[in-house]
Chain A
Amino acid sequence: DTGVSQNPRHKITKRGQNVTFRCDPISEHNRLYWYRQTLGQGPEFLTYFQNEAQLEKSRLLSDRFSAERPKGSFSTLEIQRTEQGDSAMYLCASSSRDLYNEQFFGPGTRLTVL
């Protein structure tokens, strides 16, 4: 399968714990995006990378959230001291650098904070 992959697919954690999600983009794509989607809403942008550089972060990304893409390939999103409000689907997408290229989404990681 050469699409975007995300792990784990589901994560249940207790409030206050740290969690880390991984995204593997399509191999030739140099742009990688993280979005968060809550029930009944469209995805909301969190952050994006071009290669290993994190070029933009949303105001939604509090200081408990950190994302990395150390070698310009896979990316991780870590949430520290999780809160119940962090419960959501975390989606990763990738695209190539060419103009007007669509983003391809992974299956998402569903986080439930108890």
Chain B
Amino acid sequence: EDKVVQSPLSLVVHEGDTVTLNCSYEVTNFRSLLWYKQEKKAPTFLFMLTSSGIEKKSGRLSSILDKKELFSILNITATQTGDSAVYLCAVVKKSSGDKLTFGTGTRLAVRP
């Protein structure tokens, strides 16, 4: 059975801290891994990763994939209160019609 496991489940930090969120997966015919941010509404897309070792970056957020060890990390530097959200990791399999298999998410709270 396909599995996507995120850790930690929740995290509380102070503004300015750097955080690292983890996502490990066990799926057959892996194609890509996606990160989404979910506040009190729909998930919004952050990154899609398909190749190992290539960092994707957007402002203070960055992510990288390790296809050998089957995990990805999402880094957020200089956190702000607006980063408080649930961060979801999802994988896509080949020939799966692009359906997403999500982990349970990491709930991040950034305190002022």
Contact = CB atoms under 8 A, between A and B. Distances in A.
Interface of A: 4, 31, 33, 35, 40-45, 48, 50, 55-56, 91, 93, 95, 100-108
A45 B88 contact: no
B48 A100 contact: yes
B62 to A, nearest CB: 17
Contacts, number: 58
Nearest to B4: A42
Nearest to B92: A100
Interface residues of B, number: 24
Contacts of A93: 100
Interface centre among B48, B50, B100, B101 (most CB of A within 10 A): B100
Contacts of A44: 102
Contacts of A104: 45
Interface of B: 4, 31-32, 34, 36, 41-45, 48, 50, 88, 90, 96-105
A103 B45 contact: yes
22 contacts: A4-B42, A41-B105, A42-B4, A42-B88, A42-B102, A43-B88, A43-B102, A45-B99, A45-B100, A45-B101, A48-B99, A55-B97, A95-B98, A100-B31, A100-B50, A102-B34, A102-B45, A102-B48, A103-B45, A105-B36, A105-B43, A107-B42
A45 B91 CA distance: 12
Contacts of A4: 42
A55 B42 CA distance: 24
A43 B88 CA distance: 9
Contacts of A33: 98-100
Contact of A91 (B42, B48, B104): B42
